[in-house]
Structure 1
Amino acid sequence: MAWLDKLKLKKGLIQSLNEVGFVAPKEIQQKTLARIMGGQDVIGVGPEGCGKTTTYILAALNKFNYTPDGVPRVLILVPDKEKVEEVIAQINQINKNKSLRIVALFATPGIEAQMDAMAEGADIVVATPDRARAIYLKLGLDVNKIELLIIDDAELVVKQGLQLPVVELANSIPKCQHLVFTEVIHDRLNKMTAPFMKQPAIVEVEEVGEPLFDTHPQLLYLVPNFGTKVNLLNLFMQDEDLFTKIVLFVNTRPTAEKLYKSLHDRKTTVGLLNPWFFEMNGFESIYDFKSVDTRVLIVVNDAEQKLDLDDIPFLIHFELPVEKETYIDRMINDSPEVEDEIMAITFATDLELTAVKKIEQATGQKIPLADLPENLIIEKERKSGDAAEKKAAKAKADEDAPGAAFHEKKASNAKTYNYRAGLKAKMNNKKKHS
């Protein structure tokens, strides 16, 4: 499919696209551009490289004839300086209208140079939300004629805690169209966009492709926060018949220490790989762990040594490693012809869904989403308060820890998670570790 008239792009823009090698629209452009040109609010969801940035740049450039008036008509909000520069470079690649003024706003020592640039005139502003808000409050950013507000990498905007300036800027614009582009969509992102999006069309494209590896069976548990992850882990540990041997992956030593204390205090036998304190039970290798009856081995993801994870019934990623390749290397099943007795479980919050998506794209397969156990205690989100309240809350948590949210249950009453009977029977019949 070539760039057709039904996409409602100006002829000069189509010619420019062909000149730079964009000979045909990608799936996300086919599904969104007609809606965007029709004036509808749109949320575009797709993986990195699917064409999201090109999509909204085309929508922005299509707003202008060859006589722009130097007053912002398009505001593009992105999470950081690097993305600001990337977007402007791509605009310059496609744009042939040299009278169009594009201004970048991002955190840098001093604000005067950016204020001066805005005073000289700007048609498209590409900015981080915090710097755009700061210049708006100094009356340097005129939002009265903005027709198109775009938020790109919205999941990273949320992850960096920039929701407030986004919402304030959006609510300050008298009337405009809104476009949001993201790799994943979740409750926190929806909460940010709800105040200003008007019945948006949600367009999602998937680029998972064909499976590239044979992997161990996997399950994803989506939970709201860290505290609920701890509760879920402790709930699993109540079932000593099923969860006989676990390697638990975390990203940092402080997290490892918290989980070690929580499990140890709840009488779960637990150790650390290469412990950093003498008073902690630990192992110098995975082989030592396999040969004893300790149930849980906590591994910090920055460990350089390659682990032999064969014969470990459960691999639980309490946190996903920074590098997706680290996770994938653990999931690859080198003996697919043999009945697989390893189950890989991942705990993830909304903010970790981007990492999950990248893993799915790299492996060519979706990770099945598991239902949360009915008796799992969901921790409430902690809201910011004054220092005294935070200190009191921390003191109470320390006093009640670990797992204060749980009611003690017998293991026989706690098995409400959703494993197939065959899998559970297989795990129960595994050779006992001694």
Structure 2
Amino acid sequence: MVWFEKLKLNKQLVRSVNEAGFTNPTELQLKTLTRIVGGQDIIAIGPEGSGKTTTYVLGVLNRFNYAPEGVPRVLILVPEKEQVMAVIEQFELLNKNKSISIVGLYVAPGIEAQMDALADGADIVVATPDRARAIYLKLALNLNKVDLLVIDDADMMVKKGLQLPVVELANSIGRGQHLVFTEVMHSKLEKMLAPFMNQPAIIEIEELQEQPLQTHPQLLYNVPNFGTKLNLLNLFLYDDELFTKTVVFVNTKVNADKLYKSLYGRLRDAVAFLNPQFFDTNGFKNIEDFKAAENSRVLIVTNQNNETVDLSGIPFLIHFDLPAEKEIFMERIINQDPDNEQETLAITFATDLELSLVKKIEQASGKKIPTATLPDELVIEKEIKAKKEEADKKPAKPNADAPGAAFHEKKAANSKTYNFSSGQKAKMNNKRKH
């Protein structure tokens, strides 16, 4: 009865969810379904497994309390073909009104077959944005009567570079309801949604495990791009008084080489690789040698190296890149000896596109990672695309008075938070035995 009394679903849908084994709504469904039924625009933010797909499938089916016309009334956009099939499967599980026609559109050989399926009649279209746009431009996808647009896994749309077809399709639809579901919200996603989302209700839920894991203290620095990550790393590691021993994790050997070259100019032999590729590169075969080396402060470790590394006694762990598997990250930041007074601080650098991985880590660890404010003196690199557009607008002219490379755009309203007081530094350094 919960589905009917609290969420006002029609009786046919109530029977469907009960038969499917969904005895109680999830937190996300309790907070969003009444708004969806009421016609409100929403942005729902929740982790994987919070019931996002079932939420909008129920919201869509609840609209069809009349004989369908065979003309698209609902357009659902998902990032990949596999998700198109999964959403259609969820509709088939919950839909008892067999007169409703559902058509899937995705990139595959034979676009004509999908166009024919639309011509035969479609009430609900589930599609990847690129294929939906291609068929729309061929005048085979009729959006004139669409009054509900659903964008699922919106953060993945941005990650896959599908912003243009999403925005074009949204702007091609007349006035209607918009539902957006995502695991995380960030500036790039906000930019994609801005052209067509008008004062939506934002509903965010956190599903953290009840027993948080014992981890090292953590900080998250949300930066716009790789170049700014590199600037932040240099800014930190140039402070040899505080960052006495630091392990930096990267995903690839290419990134490891970039970090090494950037840091070597000032740190020289204080920076090294774990298991270097070349004999003439400064490095160590094992982390114990790094710990014992008085002149080495920074060790670069690639996430491709599956070797388990003993990080005990290292004051700073910096994830320049996040590993694809959250278990690798968790293994490093779990505090195996919480009674040890020697402090370890785990610092994570993440761009907007990596925040979904951060969310998965938070969900697994049972605790939020505090976000630190970027330092005042950090150089914020412009996006490569923005730099190219600016160069195209202004012809390059030699100018002796032009500012050097150090004069980049800086982020406004930043405050310095990484600089500990001298007393704090002394306290931290006294706890370290190297």
Structure 1: state its 5+ residue gaps.
391-402, 408-413
Matched residue, 2:236: 236
Q: What residue identity is the alignment partner of 2:51?
A: G
Aligned to 1:214: 214
1:280 is aligned with what amino acid?
A: T
1:426 shift after superposition: 3.0
Q: 1:303 to 1:174 in 2, by over 3 A?
A: same
1:326 aligned to 320, 325, 328, which one? Answer: 328
CA shift at 1:377, angstroms?
1.3
CA contact (8 A) 1:270 1:296 kept: yes
**What's the secondary structure of 1:4's corresponding residue?**
helix
Partner of 1:148: 148
Change (3 A) 1:130 1:430: same
Separation in 2, partners of 1:39, 1:136 = 25
CA distance in 2, matches of 1:235, 1:226: 14
Distance 2:283 2:139 in 1: 59
Q: Is 1:375–1:416's contact at 8 Å kept on the other side of the alignment?
A: no
Structure 2: segments with no counterpart, 5+ residues: 393-403, 409-414
Match of 2:283 in 1: 282
How high is the TM-score relative to the length of structure 1? 0.91
Deviations 1:217-246 (Å, cap 9, x if unpaired)? 111111111111111111111211000111
CA distance in 2, matches of 1:278, 1:109: 50
Which deviates the most, 287-296 or 181-190? 287-296
Query: Displacement, 1:283?
Result: 1.3
Over residues 248-291 of structure 1, what are the superposed CA-to-partner deviations in whole Å (9 max), with x where a residue is unaligned? 00001111110000000123521111111333212111112112
8 Å Cα contact 1:231-1:405 kept in structure 2 = no
Tell me the equivalent position of 2:104.
104
CA distance in 1: counterparts of 2:342 and 2:210, whole angstroms: 21
**How many Å separate the matches in 2 of 1:88 and 1:20?**
15
Hey, what does 1:136 align to over in structure 2? 136
Match of 2:343 in 1: 341
Q: Distance in 1 between matches of 2:177 and 2:277?
A: 54
% same residue: 65
Change (3 A) 1:369 1:169: same
Distance in 2 of aligned mates of 1:249 and 1:14: 50
Identify the range of structure 1 (273-282 vs 296-305) with the bigger mean alpha-carbon deviation.
273-282
CA contact (8 A) 1:210 1:365 kept: no
CA contact (8 A) 1:211 1:365 kept: no
What letter corresponds to residue 275 of structure 1 in structure 2?
A: P
Amino acid paired to 2:94: I
Match of residue 301 from structure 2: 299
Aligned partner of 2:119 in structure 1 is 119
Structure 2 match to 1:310: 312
- In structure 2, what is the Cα distance between the partners aligned to 1:422 and 1:24? 54
How far off is 1:5 after superposition?
A: 3.7
Q: Which residue in 1 is equivalent to 2:428?
A: 427
Paired position in structure 2 for 1:382: 384
* Greater shift in the superposed pair: 249-258 or 8-17: 8-17
Structure 2: distance between partners of 1:29 and 1:346: 32
In 2: Cα distance, 1:211 partner to 1:225 partner = 34
Q: Is the 1:119–1:140 Cα contact (8 Å) retained in structure 2?
A: yes
- CA separation in 1, counterparts of 2:422 and 2:164? 47
Q: Please tell me the residue identity of whatever aligns with 2:346.
A: A
2:412 counterpart residue number: none
Distance 1:207 1:416, change over 3 A: closer
Q: CA deviation at 1:345?
A: 0.4
Q: CA deviation at 1:405?
A: 3.5
Question: What is the rounded CA distance, in whole Å, between the counterparts of 2:425 and 2:290 in structure 1?
Answer: 23
Relative to structure 1, is the Cα distance of residues 236 and 187 closer, same or farther in structure 2, using a 3 angstrom cutoff?
same
> Secondary structure of the equivalent of 1:266?
helix
Query: Matches of 2:203 and 2:152 in 1, distance apart?
Result: 14
Question: What's the counterpart of residue 25 of structure 1?
Answer: 25
Change over 3 Å in CA distance of 1:420–1:132 after alignment to 2: farther
Rounded Cα–Cα distance in structure 2 between residues aligned with 1:421 and 1:199: 46
What is the distance in 2 between the residues matched to 1:110 and 1:273?
A: 50
8 A contact 2:37–2:59 mirrored in 1? yes
CA shift in 2, pair 1:384/1:421, >3 Å: closer
After TM superposition, the structure 1 = structure 2 runs for residues 60-79 of structure 1, keeping only pairs within 5 Å, are 60-65=60-65, 67-79=67-79
Following superposition, which runs of at least 4 residues in structure 1 exceed 4 angstroms of deviation? 384-387, 418-423
Find the aligned partners of 1:277 and 1:159 in 2 and give their Cα distance.
34
Alpha-carbon distance in structure 1 between the residues aligned to 2:5 and 2:422: 56
Q: Considering only aligned residues, what root-mean-square deviation do their CA atoms show, in Å?
A: 2.4
1:393 alignment counterpart:
none
Distance 1:405 1:82, change over 3 A: farther
State the partner residue of 1:177.
Answer: 177
Asked if 1:364 corresponds to 2:372, the answer is no
Say if 1:385 and 1:230 are closer, same or farther in 2 by CA, change over 3 A. Answer: closer
Q: Quick one: distance in 1 between partners of 2:228 and 2:220?
A: 14
Q: Secondary structure at the match of 2:363?
A: helix
Greater shift after overlay, 2-11 or 42-51? Answer: 2-11
> Structure 1 residues 176 and 421, CA, compared in 2 at 3 Å: closer, same or farther?
farther
Q: CA deviation at 1:422?
A: 6.6
